[in-house]
């Protein structure tokens, strides 16, 4: 089962397997193919954990042995929304678990004049207000981009309690900033780092996730 170090924040069980995976992707000497492979494994675990928290309803089916099975089915449709570009690395993990899932995209970049996040582009499913949304971004540092993306979703009619923010690594500062604005959004993460350096990078972190995932 997941632990909850903070309200509405779900941390993956810190098993030896998970710590081993993070050891590989944090290592600066890990090759790009290995970084992608092991990051994808963690992403799959995050998606599976996010699915664990979706609401379900009872469903009784009949098996091939003519017996009844008391099971359940998910309530409502889901979609993924990636914060471009690093968040796009998490899309395949969601597709691997949810067939034909809809994917939206939000592009947020830092304004060089103000050093604040700025919305450049959004493309979301027309019926997103009626779906449960997995917001995808590997890193939560200060929380600026995630908060802006979440605000975009809410303005499109998505209820905060229907949003699940999935990330590989976050900081306590980022969690506090994000939850102060969106306490009803669920955060699913695999690691909570000790803090941020003077450049607002996660420490110990792993560097720039997007560069390590996409650049040779």
Three-state SS across 27-78?
A: CCCCCHHHHHHHHHHHHHHHHHHHHHCCCEEEEEEECCCCCEEEEEEECCEE
Q: Is residue 68 assigned to a domain? A: no
Longest CA span, the chain: 68
pTM: 0.92
Q: Is residue 64 assigned to a domain? A: no
DSSP string, 122-181: EE--TTGGGEEEEEE-SEESS-HHHHHHHHHHHHTT--GGGEEEEEEEEEHHHHHHHHHH
Provide the annotated active-site residues: 110, 114, 208, 211
Q: Give the residue numbers spanning the domain of 108.
A: 3-57+74-214
Q: Is residue 66 assigned to a domain? A: no
The one-digit pLDDT tens for each residue of the chain (216 residues) are: 344 446 799 999 999 999 999 999 999 999 999 999 999 999 999 999 999 999 999 999 999 999 999 999 998 899 999 999 899 999 999 999 998 899 999 998 876 666 577 888 999 999 999 999 999 999 999 898 999 999 999 999 999 999 999 999 999 999 999 999 999 999 999 999 999 988 888 999 999 999 999 986
Q: Is residue 201 assigned to a domain? A: yes
Q: Is residue 45 assigned to a domain? A: yes
Domain count, the chain: 1
CATH of the domain at 140: 3.40.50.2020
């Amino acid at each position: 089962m997941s632990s909850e170090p903070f309200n509405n924040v779900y941390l993956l069980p810190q098993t030896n397997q998970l710590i081993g995976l993070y050891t590989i992707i944090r290592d600066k000497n890990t090759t790009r193919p290995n970084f992608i492979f092991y990051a994808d494994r963690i992403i799959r675990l995050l998606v599976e954990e996010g699915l664990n928290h979706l609401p379900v309803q009872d469903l009784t089916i009949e098996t091939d042995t003519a017996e009844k099975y008391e099971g359940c089915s998910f309530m409502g449709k889901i979609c993924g929304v990636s914060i471009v570009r690093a968040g796009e690395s998490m899309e395949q993990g969601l597709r691997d678990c949810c067939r034909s899932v809809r994917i939206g995209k939000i592009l947020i970049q830092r304004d060089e004049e103000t050093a604040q996040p700025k919305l450049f582009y959004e493309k979301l499913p027309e019926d997103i207000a009626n779906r449960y949304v997995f917001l995808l971004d590997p890193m939560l540092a200060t929380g600026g981009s995630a908060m802006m993306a979440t605000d975009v979703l809410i303005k499109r009619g998505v209820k905060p309690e229907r949003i699940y923010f999935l990330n590989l690594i976050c900081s306590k500062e980022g969690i506090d900033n994000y939850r102060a604005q969106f306490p009803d959004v669920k955060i699913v993460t695999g690691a909570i780092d000790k803090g941020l350096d003077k450049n607002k990078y996660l420490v110990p972190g792993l560097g720039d996730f997007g560069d390590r995932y996409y650049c040779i």
